[in-house]
Structure 1
């Protein structure tokens, strides 16, 4: 019986090496500076080093420093490295001031450490990148061909030609179809020859890498092509056309030795879940402390504007479609929370005068920061809709329920791009969902911080919030 091989991720060894080197550089710089200016590396410096190493490792992971797609690109990793290190410095300083041990540290030693570390982290990456490029320059190991003038093949060709850090040089695209037989979208692509031509070249060692990008439904043809190139020393790769499935936070997962790929997934696993929750707790706590006088004033205004409770609790869908209670300052005389919930429109008689003001300025949503502390919501995420609206739109808007792969948010990518308030047309809801799904696909701590910052200037007041 033939045993199946184990699929390993390419580049894992390099990524591990970078992680180890980063830790080594952080330790080497602090040890060097402390011995130069203090004459020793005592327990306090060990503690500061430990905090810096742990915090840098976590933040660098989250900000993509060790992303396999970026790890060989100095240009793409410099900014995340600097941000990760600045935050690590912040943690060290908070620790020093919190325990009142600032006087045990040499200011000169710490300053040298703070400045020298990002320089060394960047410098050794520059050196290794240059060395690797020199060893691969004009080499047989770079030469690459693509089998199949398909969307996946064309996308791969563009990636190889645009980014030299991949260490590949495209020789050409080979396909048994003539240029006349290609689809309209592919008609502008130059075909360098047939698959048989490519096989002849492979036997003559004219290139090293062969990427088979044939359509997934042509499985027998793919197997046949792979068998052809088994009669050469070329390295053969399959380019699965997974992008036809409109991936949302896709990731590999091995079940034993069997690789699987998620199509619709959440961005929050492991450490990213912890970071997202920490972000929510810290930001919501700070905001609640700052806006406590505003909460009191608005509460009084709601109570005086019309009879009824100050807080309106409405059923919404949370993460994974679970029902949650979302809090808002009551802005209407009636409180719809049943199977039919009518959206507020311009001049809606249900809305009080004070209610119109707090809706237009988003003051009605301030109690949701309490929902964030409760863990029901997040600071940033797709805005929650009434349950009745979810049930309506899930039937007519493609992938609508994918919004619930993350917690609903107080602000979101759709809101800062102008899709806030009433969605009186199907097109508006479709655009809002499109932005929500893009947020889930691209989530990062950096994106959350960007949305929070932009919300301050363009996310609170809206002409469409009635």
Structure 2
């Protein structure tokens, strides 16, 4: 009844691709060594020791690179992560090769310049070859080749989203070919895909058409259906993948992690990976260092203006919460006259606030009062981009009435943020204003990328120098 036009070469092709990839990597390692010698140590001649070193590394590559998963199927997975795994794997190979030379007391005889240049050239060559292969495969898959056929089990919005994701990602190498409707509500075809109502008909069709993948787009509560599918295909060479619907449970992206050897789904945890946090921390320190050096004359001028126009210290400090709720002292240029604050009460600045000095009003409108916070970034207490920290008294006030408020502190607070560049800054005299700000902060957490941070920084420079809500 339902027929699939198959355009895959099967599992044998996948095994052949893995073997060819190993051979290609070994050849690239050898060619990179030769190119490094030609470019950086010409005329020195390739010594027997260096030749043995190259051969040793080729052998180590065959043994060690598979441990980094670089020869596994990366169909539908991040090519950037593959590149990182490949680079780390190659560094491990080089370390093992050098360790062997050290044990044989021959390490001092190898040219350091050649070794370093070889390492860099080989890393670039290995990564470039993978990207070239993926570009060819993407072209093939868009043309209908090298595809894995997927039958989706489920119903409703979650199943529809999984099917739509497959169809919108042709480069991943999957093609949705049918669905099994677990609700049995007489639903017709979805996006032109045949939809089975009886599980027996579905299972027979999967076997007859030799479908490689069955994806279970089901709710966490549908354990019985999961077990039924597992039992039915327990003696078949079919890849069964469970994509649980946890939208109503998870605060952020549903990342599956390895937790002490067991798979776990993050329902409510930091949405950023350790690699992303390191990337963000490195950028923060570099950006803050450059900003403090470049803005030093401006900051000194502001400090003098604050000091000579009103009594009190140049800097204003206040206790705020950082990542994971850790308390720190935030720095700002003082923009108000000294006054006695009631314990436990923080009065936000309002339009025409008599506490704000003339210089302070200018600093607040132009956000120049925030410049000392680059010191907080340099100390590791804040980020350049992130949710803006509020006074601790406001945290206590809003965390119980604003949905998701406390999750703003899953990462370090920022000097600027997604909410601020979208106009949500200044006084929050109504709960609705704070709710809108928090929604923007949570959007940032769910959709973080280095590119988004750059967009926010540029938008802050363009739009942040003057804002009508800051007073």
Question: Is TM-score (shorter-chain normalized) higher than 0.5?
Answer: yes
Q: 1:443 to 1:338 in 2, by over 3 A?
A: farther
1:207–1:234 CA contact under 8 A, matched in 2: yes
TM-score normalised by structure 2 residue count: 0.71
1:179–1:187 CA contact under 8 A, matched in 2: no
1:309 pairs, out of 293, 309, 313, with 313
Q: Which moved more, 1:164-173 or 1:267-276?
A: 267-276
Name stretches of at least 5 consecutive residues in structure 1 with no aligned partner: 1-10, 47-65, 82-104
Q: CA deviation at 1:400?
A: 0.7
Provide the secondary structure at the position in 2 that maps to 1:356. Answer: helix
Q: 1:180 to 1:449 in 2, by over 3 A?
A: same
**Residue aligning to 2:446:** 441
Provide the secondary structure at the position in 2 that maps to 1:326. Answer: strand
1:459 pairs, out of 459, 464, 467, with 464
Provide the secondary structure at the position in 1 that maps to 2:295. Answer: helix
Q: Deviations over 1:99-153 (max 9, x none)?
A: xxxxxx9xxxx9xx99x99799556533455358759986796222111123221
Give the total of aligned pairs.
395
**Residue aligning to 1:324:** 328
1:411–1:455 CA contact under 8 A, matched in 2: yes
Q: CA deviation at 1:330?
A: 1.4
Residues 1:154 and 2:157 aligned together? no
Q: How does 1:7-22 map to 2 (within 5 A)?
A: none
2:286 pairs, out of 282, 287, 292, with 282
Q: Deviations over 1:387-432 (max 9, x none)?
A: 1111111111111111111111111122222222223333332222
**Residue aligning to 1:226:** 230
Provide the secondary structure at the position in 2 that maps to 1:243. Answer: coil
Residues 1:197 and 2:201 aligned together? yes
Residues 1:361 and 2:366 aligned together? yes
TM-score normalised by structure 1 residue count: 0.72
Q: CA deviation at 1:264?
A: 2.6
1:413 pairs, out of 407, 413, 418, with 418
CA distance in 2, matches of 1:40, 1:164: 49
Q: Which moved more, 1:308-317 or 1:20-29?
A: 20-29
CA distance in 2, matches of 1:437, 1:458: 21
Q: CA deviation at 1:160?
A: 1.1
Residues 1:238 and 2:238 aligned together? no
1:203–1:233 CA contact under 8 A, matched in 2: no
Residues 1:39 and 2:42 aligned together? yes
**Residue aligning to 1:171:** 177
Q: Deviations over 1:405-461 (max 9, x none)?
A: 111111112222222222333333222212222222333333333322332112232
1:175–1:191 CA contact under 8 A, matched in 2: no
Name stretches of at least 5 consecutive residues in structure 2 with no aligned partner: 1-13, 51-73, 88-112
CA distance in 2, matches of 1:413, 1:344: 22
**Residue aligning to 2:386:** 381
Largest Rg, 1 or 2: 2
State the superposition RMSD in angstroms.
4.2
Provide the secondary structure at the position in 2 that maps to 1:254. Answer: strand
CA distance in 2, matches of 1:230, 1:137: 33
1:331–1:355 CA contact under 8 A, matched in 2: yes
Q: CA deviation at 1:37?
A: 8.0
2:408 pairs, out of 403, 406, 412, with 403
